[in-house]
Amino acid sequence: MTPLLAVENLVKRFRGIRASDGINFDLRHGEIHAVIGPNGAGKTTFINQLAGELAPDSGRILLDGRDITKEPVHRRAALGLGRSYQISAVFDELSVLDNVMLAAQAHQGHSFRFFNDAAKDEDVAAPSREAVRIVGLEDSMHRPVADLAHGAKRQLELAMVIATKPRFMLLDEPMAGTGPTESREIVALLRRLRGTAAIVLIEHDLEAVFALADRISVMVYGKVIATGSCDEIRSDPAVREAYIGDEEAVL
């Protein structure tokens, strides 16, 4: 089966340093494919290239076999890409629903009209309300985002992605800054999303990664050194040595 997303020999250099060093990677329809690795491994550089925010020096990115390597961010979004960021990117002064409607409006190509008009547009409002419900924030739908706890803001960011009805999502550390309870809630949410869209998950929380991932790719110094199931990655001595520095360590 042709993968939904395929990356072929992707290279990105910064002042002679290969932040992406011949990366080969694929994302299958409906799967969660996690990317892990120590700080400085090149994970964010990689995801920025997938999103179209950073142009590779060489290599190709294919979506359903179509070369999208040179497509801009808005074209990739139109083709079904949704993205969340490591640092929260929400408007604190607006309500939860307003934030989600903003994301839905942008994806549909609307101008940023006054929200009272947007609220009357069911093409924007309906998927926005549904996305808020999916992430479990319906009771906070009309609250200012500034009143939310950090974990709820991370859930809101996922609602903003879901409202665009993506075919695949790039999630950059969705558990960043969350406590154990909040992290478990986000893991449960991502489990509920399994199969509705394929997910590339970058995450430092290995407990969450092993709870969620169908496959894991391990990056070190810009290279993917291993790809496999959770059990295969756990038992790979090269991964333990490169990722933790101890061949006897247990992931």
pLDDT digits (tens, 9 = 90+) for 78-129: 999 998 876 667 889 999 999 999 888 877 765 555 454 555 577 788 889 9
Per-residue pLDDT, 32:
97
Cα-Cα-Cα-Cα torsion 161, 163, 164, 165, nearest 10 degrees, comes to 100
* Residue given tokens 């999103």 in the structure block: 51
- pLDDT value, residue 247: 47
Give whole-number Cα distances, 134 to 128, 160, 161, 225, in Å. Answer: 10, 11, 12, 35
Domain boundaries, the chain: 1-80+166-251, 88-165
| Residue reference for tokens 């110094």 | 221
pTM equals: 0.89
d(CA 145, CA 128): 15
Give start and end residues of each alpha helix (H) in the chain. Answer: 43-51, 73-78, 96-108, 115-120, 122-134, 150-162, 180-193, 206-212, 230-234, 237-239
Contact (Cβ atoms closer than 8 angstroms) between residue 210 and residue 187: no
Segments of the chain with pLDDT less than 70? 86-88, 109-120, 243-251
- Topology of the domain covering 1-80+166-251: Rossmann fold (3.40.50)
Which two three-digit tokens encode residue 69? 């390597």
One-letter amino acid at 249 equals A
Predicted pLDDT of residue 245: 58
Distance between CA atoms of residues 73 and 62, nearest Å: 14
Structure token digits, residue 117: 């008009």
3-state secondary structure of 186: helix
